[in-house]
Amino acid sequence: MAGITNWLNFQYHVTKRMLEVAPRRSKKIKMLYIEYAAPAGSERVIKYRFRNALWYTFNNEDILNTRIPLPESSEGNEVTLTVHGFFRKNIYTLLLKPEYIHVIKIIQA
């Protein structure tokens, strides 16, 4: 039952975002910012925001939120963030440095 509720909630939010993006003249995905945040715990948080994004895929999981918690041991690793838009998809390859995030590659699909 919880799986169906989560799926319906996800579909509701994606549909709501589609209705917000549909009347816009430009529907291309644009990165507004991507940065680290270091809360008091032992993990880092990637904060990001994209214009015209409907949902994101990180570690083969579809998500709606704009923050990803990462363990501190993930520094120096490459991670992939896929941004899904209105009939568009951008794949961002990110290199995690101790103080900043470097966008290595952007693939528009």
Q: Is the pLDDT of residue 27 over 70?
A: yes
- 56-73: per-residue pLDDT in tens? 999 899 999 999 988 776
Q: Give me the long-range contacts of 54-60 (CB less than 8 A, separation at least 24).
A: 54/14, 54/17, 54/18, 54/21, 54/84, 54/85, 54/86, 55/10, 55/13, 55/14, 55/17, 55/84, 56/81, 56/82, 56/83, 56/84, 57/81, 57/82, 57/84, 58/82
Domain boundaries, the chain: 2-108
Per-residue pLDDT, 96: 87
What does pLDDT average to over the chain? 89
